[in-house]
Structure 1
Amino acid sequence: MTICLDHQMLALLTQFITFAGYVLILMLSYFKKAQVRKMNGADVAWVLVSAGLVWLMVPGLALFYGGLAETRTTVNTLAMVMIAIAVGGVVWFTVGYSLAFSGSGHIIGNLDAAFLHNVSMTKSTRGLGISDGLFALFQGMFPMITMAIIAGSVVGRMNFKAFILFLTAWMLLVYVPLAHMIWGGGILAQHGALDFAGGDVVHISSGVSGLVLALMIGKRRVNTDTSGNNLLATVIGGGLLWFGWFGFNAGSALAADGVAIVAFTNTNIAAAFAMLTWVILDFILFKRVRISGAISGGVAGLVVITPAAGFVQPASAMIMGIIVAIGAYFATTVIKYRLGYDDTLDAFGLHGVGGVIGGILTGVFASKPLAGTSVSWQLMGTQLGAILVTIVLVVVLTFIIAKVVNLITPLRVDEAVEEDGLDYDLHGEVNA
């Protein structure tokens, strides 16, 4: 009887220990989750600053483009860039963020977080040191600068009303699905595509869209050479772009950590080497240095490192800057004129070409400690596949959107308006 009782007690004790173990595991799991979800002050401060830096890139681009545009289309250029802030802000808040980062679809998300519904400003469901609200805020700055880039291909001849309609539809049908597929857990992310801060999502999409629009609208009737009307504005704008890009790339680490430091360092290295390479090419080919060219070279370096900023070592960033300068230089000074397309301010030559080169070289130079993977044929295939998907999606949808918009209002301004300059006729203002 005693032996039987001892067995019963042992069985009860075993069950109690098992139960207590489960409770302990659940408690540890809970506290671990709570700790992950608790905001980190340094991360919050850095990502807030980075969001502001990315926003600053839009007026920076306005100055950069505005200084290069013809005097009689300066106001129109500024307006086409700055309107991206309004369109991007409205679409992102209403449905853009939700469709990009909610749900588990392969191509698009859902509307669970429309109007930022149930998006917490104090906790993270993504295991980050920043809240979901701050994540949404930071990501919402990217479509603004993306759409602003497109303007560079068509300023001086596109109807402003048509441009607003185009941007609204383009953001919903092109940018948002790309953001979901690459950053929101969609099909390209599932296949392992690497895009740290927007090679596919931002630069290839905007550059290729600009080229498609430019081809559909046609060349400018009056002037096909933009030498610049205010290089001081171009330099200030280029400087603001470079400055803002530190938030663009390093902020994409979403934390104040070593990855952010690597991304920040790589951003400056790639831009510096690209600028110097561009200057050397100018010296060799034209025996002179154009400040507009030097700034363009820096921008090309910033573009190429965007998809790779947190994935490659600094020495690789150096090589990427040199390669993109050569590629973008010939795209903007030779190929554009040989093929005869009017990419007014080289949105395609700098961002489209630079983005493609950056996406490919990300696969070439990916560092396993940083990217979690190393160079392989599979990775190269994934990178090339993501670039191809991006280009096909952008070309097809840009063409369709532009055709539909043209049914509502003409894509191109009247000939007389274009010859006189768009500033006063479309905006009632001139750049004195």
Structure 2
Amino acid sequence: MNKAYKAWCRIYQIVFRLAMPILPYYEPKIMHSTDQVPQVLADKRIGSVLLVTDPGIARLGLTHGLEVAFAQVGIDCTVYANTQANPTVSNVEEASALYREHGCRAIIGFGGGSAMDCAKGVGARIAQPCKPINKMRGLLRVHRRLPLLIAVPTTAGTGSEVTLAAVITDDKTHYKYPVNDFVLIPRYAVHDPRLTCGLPASITGQTGMDALTHAVEAYIGRSTNAYTRAAAKRAVRLIRDNLLEAYENGQNIEARANMLEAAYQAGIAFTRSYVGYVHGIAHSLGGRYGISHGLANAVILPHMLRAYGPVAECKLAELARDAGIAPAAANDQTGAKAFIEWVDNMNARLGIPRYLESINAADVPSMAAHAAAESNPLYPVPRLMDAKQLASMYRVVAGGHFADEPAARAGEGQRRSTERPSRVARTAERKVAACSSKK
């Protein structure tokens, strides 16, 4: 990254950090049961609502009780249940058309981060009926107040119920981009751990590591304050104490409730202090290949933490010491190493692979360009990287071999999730870190 652009990125980030105390952040009012939602709408004299969810939630019938409760108090409920794992522009447009057709006056995002992001996108389109969603990508381009928005998370990972972001995928280009505006923060959120008890173990693990990624990227970035640092630390402690239990014993209500709180605290941290290159790369992979966001974040996180090198050691060590992952007397280098190894071990115990083996070399230049455009100058990362440096990280995440390379097609370089990083991947990580430090 050239010095002029690097200076511009840091100035941009400093301005946002200084403005943080006066920016209109707010947090949703928390309810602990979906039983409370009909009364909220009735109190506001809202007689028609759009419920946005996904096919999996619909098949499980998780929204049925809420639909019945609405009917009992005379509230019409229109359900949009076609949200994809990475919600698309088409999803937003289809759901928005339903909202208008049925005269709805409120929106409920019911499900994981995808359903909540789609619901936010619908709200943005209703608030700005003449402005396509792709014209709202980036920062503060919605402007107008949304209809009443209620978030009902059924996973403990995204923290979308407290964030100002919605991530949408363009159906045609497969470009996945964030829409960021304060008006996207839901007014109410329902933390009902019963809704998460039926979550498959694999999704529990991936979404839990998604929450960890939010907390870690927010904490090691350069735009933190005492409030966001405390939220990030609390999230890490809760994840350390509860994620494996929720993964292994999905009916443990206490562990499920604590993971909802962890995701919420991580959401508080990153919606104010932002994320980093893990998210930039993960969004590009999700848009191109449909890889779930939690899985991508979980795999990328330890690789990127290693690539940041010494500049992230102090803060990673603080997290490690605070969470009991490293001894209280451990120095920064030892603490940071212990934290990254803990992330690796968590991924292994949760059945998350060390590498993503579906990445094609031919796709890397465009994905790296998208990741750089999303991340710079907004994300206050510990070490700045340009598109060329980020492109090197895709090889690291792929374990040293891309899927469309002859060696990979011939079956060479195949890796199991429990393997140590391959020599090629370790060399690539060192090159990224060394190149970054020189820039």
**TM superposition score normalised by structure 1:** 0.26
* Higher helix proportion: 1
Structure of higher RCO (CA pairs closer than 8 Å, 6+ residues apart): 1
* Higher strand proportion: 2
Mark the structure with the bigger radius of gyration.
1
**TM superposition score normalised by structure 2:** 0.25
